[in-house]
Copies of this chain bind each other. A is one copy, B any other.
Amino acid sequence: MNPLVLSDADYKAVFERITQLALEYVASVGDQPSFPKITGSETEALFAKPLPEQGMGNCSLDDLDRVIEFVRVTSPRFLGYVLGSGEPIGAAADLLASVLNQNVTAWRSSPSAVTIERVVVGWLAEAIGCTGFSGSLTGGGSSANLMGLALAREARVPANECGARPGTVYASEQIHMSIPKAIALLGIGRENLRLIPCDDNFRIRVDLLRTSVERDVRAGLTPIAIVGSAGTVSTGSIDPLPELAEVARESGAWFHVDGAYGALAAIAEPAKFAGLNQTDSLSLDPHKWLYQPLDCGCLLYRDAAAARRAFSHTGDYAKSLVDDPVEGFAFFEETIELSRRFRALKIWLSLRYHGLGNFREAIRNDLTHAQLLAGLIAKQPELELLAPVALSAVCFRYRSRNDADRECDALNQEILQRVVRRGKVFLSNATIHGSFALRACIVNHRTTPEDIEQVVSEVLAVGRELSAG
């Protein structure tokens, strides 16, 4: 027998034990501290061990308990960054995806997986009002934004053959870091990204955008893309998408929207997202606001030919030999990836198990919870809301005695660290008008109103403790 091949009984023992661990974890998620008690050097001492030459067999499973003990749990009170809460039906489907080990490159490499991914992408487009868009699932929003901007570059200042040529990209000051990172990678150069100021609601100032575009065009520069946010990462603000579409049309620029955080909320609140269907490309992250396990991002686009112009350079050994349009389809002609995991299976199963209606309601709950939190903050004189709540991100701070900015920043930085260490709620931070903000971002299908109340009580408890000291 081959050295890595086990008996069916051996596989059964391992699969059943891991399934048991997984179920115990799911059952316990509500009771776990939101951050484990461990230091950097302790994690190293636990895990930085030599690779064994001899197999440990089932003993190797014993250490999974320590792995689980020292993760950051996506409890109902995990409200940091923008991270979906990991819907367990999707996670169960991921086991099957890994066992089937489909390489979702082309229909001929995986008939059912390629078909299901194309179907799921169509469902996502339809669910947010972009019926007819096609696209693919990606490793996340960074990759989707990179691909969207690659489409833009190749459409406006083709660079694949001859190298990057000058051009400019426009986005608001609140744009996610993946956009400048993509612009750097694409050879456009971050100094050609115009960061346009925002209004009081952290939405791009379209008048200033127009001025900036006009100035560049007069200077002989080519506007490559206008990038809107459908949910800025700090405050969840949604740029005025129809107006951005208009500026893009006028200037001949590509219109990309970064909807990694917010666009899937269009399932619950389509009116907030008017204009999404006027984009040329659009990123969204089912591993955020569709609660799917990592990784699962998505890029949608209006015109698949633009994606093929950007990405189709197939080697002989991967070239398709058939003419049928379904059987000849290859994702690698439209993406930066070649090998691709069967990411669609989890969305497919999770959406069909629960139905879109339940996802809509879960997203509505998150939006309601954010308003609840904002309301509780407004009622507490020791707390201060730092930005309007456009979606589900709530930025606030504990007031220091004299509201001096530096003192207040230091106090809230200390509050954040202590709150996280206490392990009841997990918050992260943002910078709002130059000030340090505590930030709760609610894209968590497990969160309840009681969990939201704990955010306030935890911050108040720590803030009072520090202010008294």
Contacts and interface: CB of A to CB of B under 8 A. Distances in A.
A293 interface: yes
B354 A72 contact: no
Interface stretch (A184-192, A206-214, A239-247, A376-384): A184-192
B353 A60 contact: yes
Interface in A355-404: 355-359, 361-362, 365
Interface stretch (A173-181, A298-306, A456-464): A173-181
Nearest to A295: B341
A178 B349 contact: no
B326 A71 contact: no
A468 interface: no
Contact of A72 (B40, B102, B311, B361): B102
Contacts of A204: none
Given A11-B88, A185-B186, A285-B339, A101 B74 contact: yes
Interface in A147-193: 150, 153, 159-164, 166, 176-178, 180-181, 184-192
A217 interface: no
A188 B164 CA distance: 7
A418 to B, nearest CB: 12
A96 interface: yes
Interface residues of A, number: 174
Contact of A107 (B40, B66, B102, B417): B40
Given A111-B72, A317-B430, A92 B40 contact: no
Contact of A103 (B81, B327, B339): B81
A61 B96 CA distance: 12
25 contacts: A11-B92, A18-B92, A38-B111, A51-B127, A53-B355, A55-B355, A56-B353, A60-B353, A61-B349, A61-B353, A63-B352, A72-B102, A83-B101, A83-B103, A86-B98, A98-B346, A139-B139, A139-B341, A159-B184, A160-B190, A163-B164, A177-B313, A186-B187, A295-B340, A316-B429
